[in-house]
Amino acid sequence: MSKKDSGDKKYYRVLNILNRLNEGPVRIADLSAEFEVSERSIQRDIERINLTGFHLDAIQKGVYSFAPGVSLNSFNLTSEQLSVLVLMREMAGGLGGAIKEAFDKVFARATASSGGDSPFYAVGPRALNPLTRKFYEDIVFAIEHSKKLKISYASPDGAKERVLCPVKILASESFFYMMAAVDGGKAGQFPKYRVDRIKALEILPDEFVPPAPELIRKIIGTATTIWGVNEGKKIKIKLKAEGAAADFLQSKELLPGQKISPAGNGAVTVNALIHHPMEVVPLVLHWMPEISILEPADLRAEVTSRIKAYLKKAGN
């Protein structure tokens, strides 16, 4: 296949995916089968679109959608022109420096629209520590070629050097994480490292034996937060939600495999299976007093302890 043909096919894939995203969520497996390319090729297309500036949400594993408020209708260019910009952004990013900065300004001006041009506006947190292109490319290269990475990582007790065997890049709540085994560490364990805390990164010539894909899929499982990417114990939980909390939980899957049941007077009970208490603690603290933990008792005690600790500090 010639480079021209390859570029044409990539352009039409990106164009098609942009139009599909404008209509609703897309599934990587479906696009892979339709275009007769690997799921990794489709994933790269998704990453190209996201890194260009069309913010995407991973609504579940392998399924993506435009973030709230993002629509091709809000841009000043056609979808064909926008797809060209996606591919141009990749080339500009590869050249780096002033060229990449110039492209980003061109993209911002070309796609700018006044607030009155669209009936939607995205309200929510903005990422302050985005995944830099250099780290992104180095980590992807290391994953694809099973190369070890030497990093300087800013942990709570100071910067430390680590040698890691990277296996995945994860995105959660506007942060990017590198899922990696510690070189020489315990087999089957893959800690997560926030990419914005990596202060230096070096690709080593040493290679490692990558884990079986099914093992990584099992660890990631049905996680809905970064805390759920964990091969630890499973915890059965049961919540009760009322009012706005009940409406919210019925509109979005916030807990892995959550099952909603009516509990009368507009209230609902929520059953789920989590790996770590922090998958549910922030949710309860955010929606209290309209949400409560029915089971297990130790999780309810942990939330109570956090509330008491806060009230104690607030009283001082």
Q: Which of 281, 288, 279, 285 is nearest to 258 (CA)?
A: 279
133-219 matches 3-117 in CATH topology: no
- Specify the pTM: 0.59
- pLDDT grade, residue 5 (50/70/90)? very low
Distance CA 149, CA 193 (A): 12
> What's the CATH number for 3-117?
1.10.10.10
pLDDT for 263 equals 92
Structural contact between residues 228 and 256, judged by C-beta atoms closer than 8 angstroms? yes
Distance CA 127, CA 260 (A): 31
Distance CA 8, CA 84 (A): 10
Peptide bond before residue 289 is cis, with ω within 30 degrees of 0: yes
C-alpha dihedral (71, 77, 81, 86), degrees to nearest 10: -50
pLDDT above 80 (res 236): yes
Peptide bond before residue 130 is cis, with ω within 30 degrees of 0: no
Residue listed under structure tokens 């260009």: 52
Express each pLDDT in 13-65 by its tens digit: 888 888 888 888 899 988 988 888 899 889 988 988 887 778 888 888 889 98
DSSP calls for 123-165: -S---SS---HHHHHHHHHHHHTTEEEEEEEEETTEEEEEEEE
pLDDT for 173 equals 72
- pLDDT grade, residue 123 (50/70/90)? low
pLDDT for 283 equals 93
> What's the CATH number for 235-315?
3.30.70
- pLDDT grade, residue 303 (50/70/90)? very high
**Sequence spans of domains, the chain:** 3-117, 133-219, 235-315
**Average pLDDT of the residues in 169-182:** 85
Considering 128-137, 168-177, 182-191, the range whose residues carry the highest mean pLDDT is: 182-191
The class (CATH top level) of 133-219 is mainly beta
DSSP bridge partners of 26: 64
Structural contact between residues 56 and 21, judged by C-beta atoms closer than 8 angstroms? yes
Residue listed under structure tokens 């315990």: 186
**Average pLDDT of the residues in 279-301:** 94
pLDDT above 90 (res 149): yes
pLDDT above 60 (res 120): no
